[in-house]
Amino acid sequence: MTITPRRALLASAITLPAFAQPLRRAHRGFNLVATERAKLGSPAAAESFARMAALGADSVAIVCFLWQPTPQAGTIVRGNDMGDAELAAGIRQARAAGLSVMVKPHVWVPESWAGAVEPRADAWRGWFDGFQAALLPLARLAQAEGAQAFCLGTELRRTSRRAEWWEVIARIRAVYRGTLLYTAHNAEEAGQVPFWPALDAVGVSLYPALGADDAPGAWQAAMAAEAARIDRIAAAAGRPAWVTEIGIRSARGAAAKPWESAEERDAAPDGALQAAVLSRWLAVLDRPSVAGVLVWRWFSDPAAGGPADTDFTVQGKPAEAVLRARWGGR
The per-residue pLDDT for range 94-144, each reduced to its tens digit, is 999 999 999 999 999 999 999 999 999 999 999 999 999 999 999 999 999
> Is the pLDDT assigned to residue 12 strictly greater than 70?
no
Q: In which band, very low, low, confident or very high, does the pLDDT at 3 lie, cut at 50, 70 and 90?
A: very low
Query: Is the torsion defined by CA of 33, 37, 42, 45 positive or negative?
Result: negative
Determine contact, residues 126/75, Cβ cutoff 8 Å: yes
154: β partners: 183
Q: How much of the chain exceeds pLDDT 70, in percent?
A: 92
Amino acid found at 126: G
Predicted pLDDT of residue 2: 30
Contacts of 288 (CB under 8 A, 6+ apart): none
* Cα 251 off chain centre by: 19
> Is the pLDDT assigned to residue 24 strictly greater than 70?
no
Q: In which band, very low, low, confident or very high, does the pLDDT at 182 lie, cut at 50, 70 and 90?
A: very high
pLDDT tens sequence across 28-38: 999 999 999 99
Determine contact, residues 66/73, Cβ cutoff 8 Å: no
> Is the pLDDT assigned to residue 22 strictly greater than 90?
no
Q: How many angstroms separate the CA atoms of 304 and 281, rounded?
A: 23
Q: In which band, very low, low, confident or very high, does the pLDDT at 25 lie, cut at 50, 70 and 90?
A: low
Helices 216-237 and 271-284 cross at an angle (nearest 10°) of 40
- Look up the domain containing 255 and give its range: 5-327
CATH number at residue 225: 3.20.20.80
Least Cα distance to 299 among 59, 103, 4, 39 occurs for 39
pLDDT tens sequence across 78-102: 999 999 999 999 999 999 999 999 9
Instruction: Give the H/E segment covering residue 297.
Output: strand 290-299
Predicted pLDDT of residue 18: 34
pLDDT tens sequence across 246-284: 999 999 999 999 999 999 999 999 999 999 999 999 999
- Is the backbone of residue 47 left (phi > 0), alpha (psi -120 to 50) or beta? alpha
pLDDT tens sequence across 216-254: 999 999 999 999 999 999 999 999 999 999 999 999 999
Number of domains in the chain: 1
Other beta carbons less than 10 A from residue 227's beta carbon? 20
Determine contact, residues 221/229, Cβ cutoff 8 Å: no
Dihedral of CA atoms 60, 157, 78, 315 in degrees, nearest 10, equals -30
Least Cα distance to 183 among 290, 105, 101, 238 occurs for 105
103: β partners: 62, 150
- Answering whether pTM is above 0.85, one says yes
Predicted pLDDT of residue 26: 80
Contacts of 69 (CB under 8 A, 6+ apart): 75, 109, 110
pLDDT tens sequence across 285-324: 999 999 999 999 999 999 999 999 999 999 999 999 999 9
Distances (CA, A) of 99 to 60, 113, 283: 6, 29, 22
Predicted pLDDT of residue 10: 37
Determine contact, residues 295/258, Cβ cutoff 8 Å: no
Q: How many angstroms separate the CA atoms of 48 and 292, rounded?
A: 21
Amino acid found at 156: L
Average pLDDT over the chain, rounded to an integer? 93
Q: How many angstroms separate the CA atoms of 239 and 328, rounded?
A: 27
